[in-house]
């Protein structure tokens, strides 16, 4: 049985917690896209962890953690993350890295930062993890596949070719230090020795595991609105954030993804630039940011304060639809307990026209939120285990959202840890 856990919005919906929770009953957790540019926060018996590259199943002995071919693999970051876990008494996870995954090169990270610097005020708000240059090179067919680390002739030839190309940009566009071919080759040899024990054929492994009846979780990064095709282009990430891409980024048949659990947060947050219709500012935003998530809404990778907003039914309905949602996990609901009234964005007003359909970017920039207010429940709902035990106004809020997005909320998360979950 293959299930995907993905985000409906801009990311940071709480996918890490839901994946960690579902991993209890799974055998394999697979990352299928993205890189170390975003993070999942997980709270468990070992402490609080921010994961960037490792799948959110690494805390269980019984899980095999897989880095799929669709991932932008930053090898030093992966190994730092593993060390950070084992230093804090987490048993060494079982890891399998796809021989078809590609490698984030040191120059991808530099070029990402140089490009943001060059664009100055017009930048994309990149985390400077090298993700956009990485995927550009992958599709320009000058990326380095993990398998190529083990073929010395190909490696040398490619390093020479790519160094020559990149140095033109570094010299003439960015006016920065050039890449040294020998140094780059040495770095790649180091990478090869680091990954060697973990590399394998992921699609065959998953095929066999699925045939043997294992439970496989595909863990998405970011959310629908950051998808390069269906998101708020160009303020998007460079790999698809949709469950459908799980088939490609892990190498499995699309029809084997039987369940798509789309994670939706009870309010909105976003990082980076781009239209954010239900955004709030000032004290109202500060308070939600401070109370949000588990210890505030600050980026797991960058520590940047997140932009805050009320729940957006238009964006979430669209986000769930594009994911092919079978189940919605509605998270961080406990945080809203302080509000007398809870504003919700139910439609967009675009030049006087009211719509509940999520538009293309230039129209989105003009959209104003249509806000409805629901009564708050004014109490702490953490610790509640049964849906009927939630305060009436809290249930009304959940049911209101469900009606507006049109997808069934089957899980409600009322706290950061594994057990803070209410099944419906």
Report the catalytic residues.
Answer: 12, 40
Q: How far is CA 82 from CA 21, 27, 47, 222, in A?
A: 20, 19, 15, 22
Minimal distance, residue 154 CB to ligand GDP, in Å: 36
CB of 12 to ligand GDP, least distance (A): 4
Compute the distance between CA of residue 176 and CA of residue 174 in angstroms, rounded to an integer. 5
Cβ closest to ligand GDP, residue 158 vs residue 230: 230
> In sequence order, what are the residues at sequence separation of 6 or more whose Cβ sits closer than 8 angstroms to the Cβ of residue 321?
406, 407
For residues 21 and 202, which CB has a smaller minimum distance to ligand GDP in the complex? 21
Distances (CA, A) of 374 to 339, 343, 371, 393: 10, 6, 10, 8
What's the rounded Cα separation, in Å, for the pair 232 and 255? Answer: 27
What is the C-alpha to C-alpha distance for residues 122 and 115, in angstroms, rounded to an integer? 10
Degrees to nearest 5, angle at CA 107 with 106 and 112: 110
Indicate the residue among 52 and 166 with the shorter CB distance to ligand GDP: 52
Q: Which candidate, 367, 329, 319, 325, places its Cα nearest to that of 347?
A: 367
Give whichever of 11 and 369 is closer to ligand GDP, judged by the CB atom. Answer: 11
Q: How far is the CB of 335 from ligand GDP (least distance, A)?
A: 5
- Give the separation between CA 37 and CA 50, rounded to whole angstroms: 12
Residue 398 C-beta-side C-alpha neighbours within 13 Å: 26
Tell me which residues touch ligand GDP (CB under 6 A): 7, 11-17, 38, 40-41, 43, 293-294, 300, 331-332, 334-335, 413-416, 420
CA-based nearest residue to 276, from 315, 237, 224, 229:
315
Nearer to ligand GDP, 41 or 224 (CB): 41
């Amino acid at each position: 049985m293959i299930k995907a856990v993905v985000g409906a919005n801009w990311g940071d919906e709480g996918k890490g917690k839901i994946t960690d929770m579902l991993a209890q009953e799974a055998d394999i957790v697979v990352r299928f896209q993205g890189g170390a540019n975003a993070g999942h926060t997980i709270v468990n018996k070992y402490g609080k962890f921010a994961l960037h590259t490792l799948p959110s199943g690494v805390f269980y002995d019984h899980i095999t953690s897989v880095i799929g071919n669709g991932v932008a693999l930053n090898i030093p970051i992966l190994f730092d993350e593993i060390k950070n876990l084992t230093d804090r008494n987490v048993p060494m996870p079982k890891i399998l890295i796809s021989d078809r995954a590609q490698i984030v090169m040191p120059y991808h990270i530099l070029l990402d930062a140089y490009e943001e610097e060059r664009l100055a005020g017009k930048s994309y708000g990149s985390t400077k993890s090298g993700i956009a240059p990485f995927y550009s090179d992958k599709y320009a067919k000058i990326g380095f596949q993990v398998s190529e680390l083990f073929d010395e002739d190909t490696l040398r030839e490619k390093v020479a070719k790519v160094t020559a190309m990149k140095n033109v940009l570094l010299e003439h566009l960015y006016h920065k230090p050039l890449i040294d071919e020998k140094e780059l080759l040495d770095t790649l040899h180091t990478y090869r020795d680091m990954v060697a024990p973990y590399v394998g054929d992921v699609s065959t492994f998953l095929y066999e595991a699925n045939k043997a009846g294992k439970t496989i979780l595909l863990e998405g990064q970011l959310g629908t609105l950051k998808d390069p095709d269906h998101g708020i282009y160009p303020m998007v990430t460079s790999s698809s954030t949709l469950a459908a891409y799980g088939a490609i980024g892990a190498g499995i048949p699309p029809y084997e993804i039987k369940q798509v659990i789309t994670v939706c947060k009870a309010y909105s947050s976003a990082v980076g630039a781009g239209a954010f219709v239900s955004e709030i500012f000032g004290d109202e935003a500060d308070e939600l940011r401070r109370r949000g998530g588990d210890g505030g809404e600050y980026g797991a990778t960058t520590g940047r304060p997140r932009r805050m907003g009320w729940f957006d039914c238009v964006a979430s309905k669209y986000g769930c639809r594009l994911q092919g949602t079978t189940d919605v996990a509605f998270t961080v609901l406990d945080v809203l307990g302080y509000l007398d009234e809870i504003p919700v964005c139910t439609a967009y007003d675009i030049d006087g026209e009211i719509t509940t359909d999520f538009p293309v970017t230039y129209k989105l920039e003009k959209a104003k939120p249509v806000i409805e207010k629901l009564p708050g429940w004014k109490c702490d709902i953490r610790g509640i285990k049964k849906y009927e035990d939630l305060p009436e106004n809290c249930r009304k809020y959940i049911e209101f959202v469900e009606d507006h997005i049109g997808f069934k909320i089957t899980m409600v998360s009322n706290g950061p840890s594994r057990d803070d979950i209410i099944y419906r």
